[in-house]
Chains A and B, each alone.
Chain A
Amino acid sequence: MQLDISSDPNFDNAIPPAPSTAWKEELARIVAFLNRDDCDSAKLWSVLSALRGPDTPDPFEVEKAATAAVIRHTIGLRMRGLVILPDSERSLVERKAIASGSSAHFYAHVANAFGELDLNWRAVNKSAEEAA
């Protein structure tokens, strides 16, 4: 039986749910890990700092698809609204162009993350499922 809570006098939809602080706890944990300032925290930083797509104009999001989206996919990130894609031949072609044409800052970050994740910049990387 489906309950119609809107007709329940005890249901007060004027009171919004309490805002979750879980994300702050999660953030604090990540920050504490990064603040260890050791080899492991540097590796994690390399990946986290490469999750955002390029700031430079990328109208068809081809740069993002070939870099940040592949990184996101590799680490298993799944969130609505984000570009998250497996690697592809098209992305490989784009990456070869990025190495010479993108901003040095963005390229340095995503190339570094590729290295930490054992992804090959100059090859199509297969996911664990594809490789199996």
Chain B
Amino acid sequence: MALVKVYVDEPDIPIRDWQAELKRLVDFMKVDDRASSALWVVLSALRGPDSANGSVKVATTGVIRDAIGLELYGLTINPDSPALAKLREGHPELHPLSHFGQHCRSAFKVLDLPWEPEDEEEE
């Protein structure tokens, strides 16, 4: 069954559960306001880097997925840590002008996640 059938309002066409969920999401995104833009920023950052660099994935995608509560089996999902923040800092693949870097940085910002290592408290 082609997905496009989801958008044809014919009651006799069965809609797969995931397609109905996708349609609802797309309808939300069509509003095209700040809310849908924020959602797009997160969704578009859920795929790991195309470089398949595992360290970069753990330091970015894994943290984003963990922050939103994703628990899909087989995916890299992990909490943030000072070591990961340090890895993010200055990594060439995460440069603000790189495609992946832009997406990840935007997602961190929208989710209120600290990108850079937080200053250690002075004693």
A residues adjacent to B (C-beta < 8 A): 19-20, 22-23, 26-28, 30-31, 33-35, 37, 40-45, 47-56, 58, 74-80, 82, 103-106, 109, 116-118, 127-128, 131
Task: Report the Cα distance A43→B20, complex, angstroms.
Answer: 12
Q: Quick one: given A76-B23, A105-B50, are A20 and B29 in contact (CB under 8 Å)?
A: no
B-side interface residues, number (CB < 8 Å): 48
Contact B71 A37, beta carbon cutoff 8 Å:
yes
Give the number of residue pairs across the A-B interface with Cβ within 8 Å.
Answer: 123
Task: Report the Cα distance A53→B47, complex, angstroms.
Answer: 10
Task: Report the Cα distance A23→B88, complex, angstroms.
Answer: 26
What B residues does A131 contact at CB under 8 A?
4
Contact B99 A53, beta carbon cutoff 8 Å:
yes
The answer to whether the Cβ of B25 comes within 8 Å of any Cβ in the partner chain is yes
Task: Report the Cα distance A95→B95, complex, angstroms.
Answer: 28
Given contacts A31-B69, A76-B7, A128-B7, 7 further A-B contacts (CB under 8 A): A22-B35, A23-B36, A43-B18, A78-B32, A82-B40, A105-B49, A128-B8
Contact B48 A105, beta carbon cutoff 8 Å:
yes
What B residues does A48 contact at CB under 8 A?
43, 46
Contact B50 A106, beta carbon cutoff 8 Å:
yes
Q: How far is the CB of B67 from chain A (nearest CB, A)?
A: 10
